[in-house]
Amino acid sequence: MASGGLACVKYLTFFCNLLFALTGLLIFLVGGMVQLNYAHYSNFVSDHIWTAPIILMIVGAAVAVICFLGCCGALKESSCMILSFAILAVVIFLFEIGLGVAGYVKHSGLQQLMEGQFNSTMRHYKERKDYQDAWTLLQTELDCCGTYGPNDWEVIYSNKTLPPACCSVINLSEAKECTVVHATQNGCLQKLLAILDSKTLILATVVLAVAGIQLLTILFACCLYRSFRRSYDHV
């Protein structure tokens, strides 16, 4: 039978495990929302960057599974299950820290990576239907034109005609086709980069909050493991 102090640690560990499970669900939902809402911009972002939401979803699912082990170990007073949970939780915690560091390093060169993707898709614009659809969607949703402005399309359209998506409104009395004069002057690169920067801030905040809760849970699990071992040694 657990003493008062042991029971207190046990239920604190169980409560922290529930919080731990919620952090896993939060990570999964954030990764899923980013993937669902912005996956159609993947042609303009390096694959190394775009795998981050998928990794977050996998980590979130893994956290939820690991928490089940921790909750069962706390309720059943199983030192083996608690130790297994603590080890797996530490692995996940270190993985998240590594993911955060890698994300920070990659983010410093994000604009350069995106510029390469923008130039590549624009260069092969006429050859690939998926690139045409991607540019149409990007320029329509963000109300932008070209990488840095409408003049970028002169490489593709030597006759000064631009993709229709560059012109939100064309005065038919002035022109029947979209040209630099009628196109929006905002480039797409900076607009998409601003969106990704804002989402990166959200992801960083979530990861920091999650890491704090996870570290607290790991500490309680270690205390509970020691308490279980001491209790068994006395018996």
Tokens of 134: 């991607």
pLDDT at residue 135, as a whole number: 92
Walk along the chain (235 residues) in steps of 10 and give the mean pLDDT of each run: 60 75 79 75 72 78 79 75 82 79 70 86 88 90 90 77 79 64 87 80 71 78 74 53
Give the type of residue at 101.
V
pLDDT at residue 188, as a whole number: 92
User: What are the C-alpha distances in Å from 154 to residues 21, 115, 161, 181?
Assistant: 53, 17, 8, 13
Distance (Å, whole) CA 181 – CA 156: 17
Residue 75 burial (10 A CB sphere; 0-12, 13-18, 19+): middle
202 beta partners: none
Domain boundaries of the chain, sorted by first residue: 4-108+201-233, 110-190
* Range 110-190 has CATH code 1.10.1450.10: yes
